[in-house]
Amino acid sequence: MWKTIKPILNLGAIMVAAVAFAGCQGNLITSAASSPLDTVELDKHNVLLDTLPDDTVDNGKGYLTNRWRDPVQMPNDTLNPISKDSLARFMRMERRRVRDSVRQELDKLPKHIYFTFDDGPLIGSSAIDSIARAKNIKISAFLVGRHAHMSRRLQRDLQRYKDNRLIDCYNHSYTHGGNRFETFYSNPVGAYEDFDKNEVDLGLTHKIARLPGRNIWIYDDIRRIDLKSGASTADMLYTNGYKVYGWDVEWRIYAASGRPVQSVQEIYTRLRNYMANKSSMEPNNVVLLMHDDMFQTKKGQHLLTSLIDTIQATTDFKFEFMRDYPFRY
């Protein structure tokens, strides 16, 4: 019990220290400490300390994630208004202080990485299938049904994905919007039906989608839209039981030559930085986007293997399926 709640205790202590410190800056302490909201905040710590079970930090309640996202909740005390300047100063300091301590706690907890491959089945899919087996890592494939009908080879590669327990198959639309995304999303119902068709055609069992040409996230309490066109389609998918996922980091390799746009070292460093800085959509979870056709050459395949080897040799990142996203602490 003591071991796992200690971090929370520290956070509580820091919170109290922060309020005390703010007192030296002016009249903040009066307003902050006496406000009802602040009292609730401190009570919450006490409740946590008293009643949470041993696995508090590990059971996905999202306490640290929430603290990371919303480090400072300042009371709105209309009786004792604080000057805008001192409030802003306090918020900045407090935000940094809480985030530093939350980051330290998150660093001690498991880190999850998601290798996601878009647009399969394509030439390159069979190599991805083999590499997943050889390295024993989980992989998420966002599939385009139309591609499976382009040749018997691609039909076979789709079946390999389906038969591989290390690969999850998800929805990336049937036509990929014909790569004319503005037109595709200008008819949200038509676009939604394209996803629906894909689900049936490929026999997809997970209600997980990624929109072609859009980095849109809609799941749980999150709704983040990169380009407005596409938002209505994503909302319709969500309303119909789908979770819509984008990506944190993209890796590009020229498909025909296998020459990387970003080297293995560059992409590896980016993944580590995202994990360390908690700059991904969810702290301790990083989603990497790749495309199946990047791995049609031996050169491309070697790069993928090399990235996996580097991650496995030098980090404790766990490879996960998007269906399990996110792990919240």
Which residue carries 């990929």 as its tokens?
176
Tell me which of 38, 94, 105, 119 binds Zn ion, using CB under 5 A: 119
CB-based contacts of 150, cutoff 8 Å, min separation 6: none
Task: Name the minimum Å distance from CB 276 to Zn ion.
Answer: 29
Angstrom distance (rounded) from CA 288 to CA 227: 20
Nearest residue to Zn ion, scored by beta-carbon proximity: 118
Neighbours of 191 (CB within 10 A): 26
Residues facing 114 on adjacent strands? 287
Task: Name the minimum Å distance from CB 302 to Zn ion.
Answer: 23
**Footprint (CB under 5 A) of Zn ion, residues 9-28:** none
**Residue 63 vs 247, nearer CB to Zn ion:** 247
Q: Mask of contacts with Zn ion, 189-228, x by CB under 5 A?
A: -----------------------x----------------
Stretch that binds Zn ion, among 94-102, 114-122, 132-140, 248-256 (CB under 5 A): 114-122
Task: Name the minimum Å distance from CB 204 to Zn ion.
Answer: 16
Tell me if 320 contacts Zn ion by CB under 5 A. Answer: no
Please give the C-alpha separations between residue 194 and each of 89, 162, 199, 294, in angstroms, as whole numbers.
50, 21, 9, 25
Angstrom distance (rounded) from CA 249 to CA 289: 6
**Residue 75 vs 212, nearer CB to Zn ion:** 212
**Residue 63 vs 117, nearer CB to Zn ion:** 117
Tell me if 118 contacts Zn ion by CB under 5 A. Answer: yes
CB-based contacts of 280, cutoff 8 Å, min separation 6: 248, 249, 274, 286, 287
Tell me if 250 contacts Zn ion by CB under 5 A. Answer: no
Exposure string (b/e) for 39-76, b if CB count within 10 Å is 16 or more? Answer: eebeeebeebeeebeeebbeeeebbbbebbeebbebbe
- Number of residues in contact with Zn ion under rule CB under 5 A: 3
Query: Which spans of this chain sit near Zn ion (rule: CB under 5 A)?
Result: 118-119, 212
